[in-house]
């Protein structure tokens, strides 16, 4: 799954709005719940070093809110990292094309959507 396929999937599955809020970074994408305007996904093109990899190669990641109890185990998986530019206690970053389990990534998107909907 690539960045565009993931955005398309999210738009089909969730009541949400896709936003490109940063003029300086026009490819950075924020996806918000429509009911409360909170964002549950952020898609960014970053350098591998920004998530602790030994490469400066560009990669697309999706930041997702996550149950803090799951994060220590999730970040042990290849392609899942402590969140880029977010609270690492509540968010993770997933390498969109480098994470092999598409169904699990969809489950993580679903968890994020549900978590930001809580009052």
Please state, rounded to an integer, the average pLDDT across all residues of the chain.
Answer: 92
Which 8-state DSSP code applies to residue 22?
Answer: -
Q: pTM for the complete prediction?
A: 0.92
Let me know: does 83 contact 62? Beta carbons within 8 Å: no
Q: Nearest 10 degrees: CA dihedral of 28, 59, 62, 103?
A: 140
pLDDT in tens, 37-75: 999 999 999 888 888 888 889 899 999 999 999 999 999
**Statement: residue 87 has pLDDT above 90:** no
Q: pLDDT at position 118, please?
A: 67
């Amino acid at each position: 799954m690539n960045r565009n396929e993931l955005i398309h999937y999210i738009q089909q599955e969730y009541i949400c709005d896709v936003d490109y809020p940063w003029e300086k970074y026009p490819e950075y994408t924020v996806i918000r719940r429509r009911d409360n305007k909170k964002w549950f996904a952020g898609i960014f093109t970053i350098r591998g070093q920004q998530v602790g990899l030994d490469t400066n190669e560009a990669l697309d990641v999706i930041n997702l809110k996550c149950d803090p109890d799951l994060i220590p185990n999730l970040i042990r998986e290849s392609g899942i990292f402590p969140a880029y530019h977010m609270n690492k206690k509540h968010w993770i970053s997933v390498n969109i094309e480098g994470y092999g389990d598409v169904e699990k990534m969809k489950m993580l998107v679903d968890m994020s959507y549900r978590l930001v909907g809580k009052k």
